[in-house]
Structure 1
Amino acid sequence: MTQAQQLREAILAAPLETSNFGETPQPGTLYLPLSHLKALRLDAHVVVGGRGVGKSFWTAALQSEPLRRLLGLAASELKGMEVHAGFSIAEHIDNYPNADVFDAFLAEGGDPYDLWRAVVLRWIARQAGKIIPHDSWPHTVAWLKQNPEDVARLMQQPRNWKGLILFDALDRTSADWRRMDSIVQGLLRTTLWLKAYPGLYAKVFLRDDQAERTVFNFTDASKLTATKAELKWARHDLHGLLWQRLINAPDTHGEILRDICRSTQQENVWHVAPEMKSESDPQRKAFETLAGPWMGRDKRRGVPYTWSVSHLSDGRGQTSPRSFLAAIRQAAEDSLERYPSHEYALHYESIKRGIQKASEIRVQEMAEDYPWVPKTLAVLSGMNVPMDFDIVREKWENAPAGALEGNPTRLPAQHIDRGWDGVREDLQRLGLLETKKDGRIDMPDLYRVGFGLGRKGGVKPKG
């Protein structure tokens, strides 16, 4: 077996899956870009990021004491901290309400601020060994409102512990934008309320579109936005993450990859060396060992190290780790199937097909989060970008009745009330469309390929 074949098998054995549904991540997948250090600080009460950038990953990871210990100095503030989920992708009705509870509570005229404080009170009471009404969320809220002095004493009592409560996946609280705005704003007000009690902290993970709305329109919200952190991934961060996953491949697979990437071991987990976390010659050369120097037979087609990331960026120039890792895994699978004797583990044509696969996954994720998006963009399938917006508008206006409707259980387009210009604005804010200097509409390859649009000289849509 050649070195390229060994490396290819090693890549396929590595833990490149990134989706998180509330389970504790594997230690070998833990990777903290320097730009994300701020997000772990206790004073960063609001953390903003798009789909697949790590919000649910950190929500799950921070609840694990062994994983916090692996972070070392980066998480020194969290040492000895009691970490609790106040809302997440995994349902836990005794710890926090679900969407049905929110709907019923708001339908009765309830204030989300009270319901979120009830979530905090149940947590504090449990830690303190105190009993408060917990048979239903309305009963906990009623106790909170009817016994303000008891609430104050519970929150102010001396504690020999410190606590952090995490909130994630808030789009699952409601399928109505205005209602969700109210829920999120109530949570942010609760976060501010919690700041009054020493040793208690909250961290709220928000999607970009949630943070861009009116949720911060309340007194003293600036105390939260002043320390807001964003989860963004630069090219070198993505490559660092890739190698963190690769060097922790099992058995001899990990050994052969560690021959390429310098690493250190801590508690049976391998960590990439500092030079592999930055835009450096070692990082570039390591990927070149896997994929070769060019995206073709010569340099005219680009360099795999940069090409693989740039073709996965959205309209805001952001690339998610989920898309990048999915593309690399697919490239390895395709190389094994089509080019088993190629001199490199990743064939450049397979990297292109990896982009196709990542695009399909991203389109599927968009369909899950925003059901109106694929229905809106499917109308444009077969067309080439860039194109005039008038052509796009005409396509939308002539679409069959009901073709552009979303899912009533998920959030609709934010600005649908502004007509097609509002839909265009929403698509741009989500990174699916971009407007060129000449006014024409363009679509990044990450979405263009998956939605079946063409571009002269670009990666072709599948099929």
Structure 2
Amino acid sequence: MTEAPTNVEARALREAILQAPLETSQDPLAIPSPETLYLPPSHGKVLNLDAQVVIGGRGTGKSFWTAALQSDLIRHRLGTTVHDLASLSVHIGFSSAARFNDYPNADVFAACFDQRREPFDLWRAVIVRWIAAKEGEAIPRSSWQDTIDWMKARPEEVARVMERPRHWRGLILFDALDRTTTVWERMDTIVRDLLRAVLWLKGFAGLYAKVFLREDQAERQVFNFPDASKLVPTKVELSWARHDLHGLLWQRLINAQNEYGERLRAICPHRSRGQYWEVDEEMKRESPAQRQAFERLAGPWMGRDRRRGVPYTWAISHLADGKGRTSPRSFLAAIRQAAEDSRDRYPQHEFALHFESIKRGIQKASEIRVAEIAEDYPWATALLSLLRGMNVPCEWREVEARWAAQFPEGPDHIHVTAPQLPPPHARQGWEGVRDDLLRLGLLDRKKDGRLDMPDLYRVGFGLGRKGGVKPRA
């Protein structure tokens, strides 16, 4: 066990945590600064050019990597770990940002379906526009339909543009595909046709694609087309283990400015990279050094003794969803809130982070996570908000009764204010919607069949649990 710091040192460490760059950008395409960039060892395969389909939940880094890979500086830094990145020309083929000349918007996709055309043609047009612009080729660009018509009328010219020898290599990225439509059947076709276009692109040397998908998109029938088996082995999952999250935290802590960073580097093994600092390899895995460093901040126990748990593991386990996954955004938000709460409530505490403040950090992270769910899955927010005041675990019939009372006409009539994709299996009734929530990790099922809700969501949605972290009043 590490020696407890003095009260003066604890206050200094607490202030240093508050000065560290723990916030994550609300702009999904904001290019991160090199000092906050952290590549977990397991994420090297995600950035590998052979990984063409990347699957991950909200806050795991899909849009982060879409933005980061656009930066020459960041790709050069990553090139020491992931080969072949530094020399790439990177282009965005779809994202949450509006770039109409680079890729179509939801209205164009809607018109495509209304006119009984194939999204495959749109996706190929996106790729051909990119290559033509890079090569200085003039092709019709007044509208997306203009480009498609030209491609169909002049297939030889398209082949010439795509097959011409190039002195550069390119990577095209596709993210935020939920912005293309609010109809699941159309979404399936859009994703499937994008994957078909990616497979088409594989035939041209030096050109690569990477498609970032939500889990609910990837779980549907989007790989049921000829030769899809060539893409299936390229799928990788974007996930964060406990030691990955602690490594990320320390990467940000040691890059606090001036004396604040010095204090945190004093307890974290690190090395200089010139204008910023990088954690040592032992801080990237579950090692004694990683555990001891966090113990210097939060102490050995989540209370007066070991019965309450260990902060190093407790914080992350209580931020996990129903599948045991914790997102970086939730963890960083919880630690920052814990530091603020410790400063305000426990300024004389012997450690920088008081164990009760860590619990309140879970409350803050839960509020943030619930707000994110409202953006991505407003139907889930509408349903889970109806469970406020309940205690979990609980019987399925209790949950179903609340939903049916509010929406007597069934899941197809869940009212949401924002146009978004509905529950994927709404047509299967309330049990189909329940299973959607289980697949997303918003609910969990106990061995005895009762339904549970992870603390990450339970606290924010206002449900109780005996002995658990309490929701805010």
Alignment of 1:378-397 (within 5 A): 378-397=385-404
State whether structure 2 residue 28 is matched by structure 1 residue 10: no
Instruction: Find the aligned partners of 1:340 and 1:88 in 2 and give their Cα distance.
Output: 44
Kept after mapping to 1: 8 A contact 2:78/2:85: no
- Superposed CA deviations along residues 75-124 of structure 1, whole A, max 9, x for unmatched, are 22113111111111221111111112211222222211100110001110
State whether structure 2 residue 129 is matched by structure 1 residue 122: yes
Per mean C-alpha deviation after superposition, the further-off stretch among 78-87 and 275-284 is 78-87
1:407 CA displacement? 4.0
Kept after mapping to 2: 8 A contact 1:105/1:138: no
Structure 2 length-normalised TM: 0.96
Corresponding residue number in structure 1 for 2:249: 242
1:153 CA displacement? 0.8
Alignment of 1:359-378 (within 5 A): 359-378=366-385
Please tell me the residue identity of whatever aligns with 1:35. S
Alignment of 1:335-414 (within 5 A): 335-399=342-406, 404-407=414-417, 409-414=419-424
Kept after mapping to 2: 8 A contact 1:243/1:261: yes
Structure 1 length-normalised TM: 0.98
How has the CA–CA distance of structure 1 residues 393 and 184 changed in structure 2, closer, same or farther, with 3 Å as cutoff?
same
Instruction: Find the aligned partners of 2:197 and 2:378 in 1 and give their Cα distance.
Output: 30
Which secondary structure state, in structure 1, belongs to the residue aligned with residue 423 of structure 2?
Answer: coil
Corresponding residue number in structure 2 for 1:437: 447
Instruction: Find the aligned partners of 1:196 and 1:100 in 2 and give their Cα distance.
Output: 30
Instruction: Find the aligned partners of 1:263 and 1:394 in 2 and give their Cα distance.
Output: 55
- Superposed CA deviations along residues 381-412 of structure 1, whole A, max 9, x for unmatched, are 10100011111111211126699423461111
Kept after mapping to 1: 8 A contact 2:79/2:86: no
Instruction: Find the aligned partners of 1:400 and 1:127 in 2 and give their Cα distance.
Output: 52
Corresponding residue number in structure 2 for 1:449: 459
Corresponding residue number in structure 1 for 2:219: 212
Instruction: Find the aligned partners of 1:404 and 1:110 in 2 and give their Cα distance.
Output: 30
Which secondary structure state, in structure 2, belongs to the residue aligned with residue 82 of structure 1?
Answer: strand
Corresponding residue number in structure 1 for 2:42: 35
- Superposed CA deviations along residues 315-337 of structure 1, whole A, max 9, x for unmatched, are 01100001100100110111111
The percentage of aligned residue pairs carrying the same residue is: 64
Partner residue of 1:91 out of 83, 89, 98: 98
Corresponding residue number in structure 1 for 2:425: 415
1:305 CA displacement? 0.3
- Superposed CA deviations along residues 1-53 of structure 1, whole A, max 9, x for unmatched, are 81111111111111112244211111111111111111111110000100000
Please tell me the residue identity of whatever aligns with 2:11. Q
CA-based RMSD:
1.3
Q: How many residues align?
A: 463
Instruction: Find the aligned partners of 2:268 and 2:418 in 1 and give their Cα distance.
Output: 48
Instruction: Find the aligned partners of 2:114 and 2:12 in 1 and give their Cα distance.
Output: 60
Kept after mapping to 2: 8 A contact 1:406/1:412: no
Corresponding residue number in structure 1 for 2:472: 462
Please tell me the residue identity of whatever aligns with 1:8. R
Which secondary structure state, in structure 1, belongs to the residue aligned with residue 80 of structure 2?
Answer: helix
Instruction: Find the aligned partners of 2:78 and 2:217 in 1 and give their Cα distance.
Output: 29
Gaps of 5+ in 2: 1-6
Please tell me the residue identity of whatever aligns with 1:434. D
Gaps of 5+ in 1: none
Please tell me the residue identity of whatever aligns with 1:336. R
Instruction: Find the aligned partners of 1:74 and 1:168 in 2 and give their Cα distance.
Output: 23
Please tell me the residue identity of whatever aligns with 1:6. A
Alignment of 1:193-212 (within 5 A): 193-212=200-219
Partner residue of 1:75 out of 49, 60, 82: 82
State whether structure 2 residue 340 is matched by structure 1 residue 330: no
Corresponding residue number in structure 2 for 1:63: 70
1:417 CA displacement? 0.5
Please tell me the residue identity of whatever aligns with 1:44. A
Instruction: Find the aligned partners of 2:460 and 2:119 in 1 and give their Cα distance.
Output: 38
Corresponding residue number in structure 2 for 1:230: 237
Corresponding residue number in structure 2 for 1:302: 309
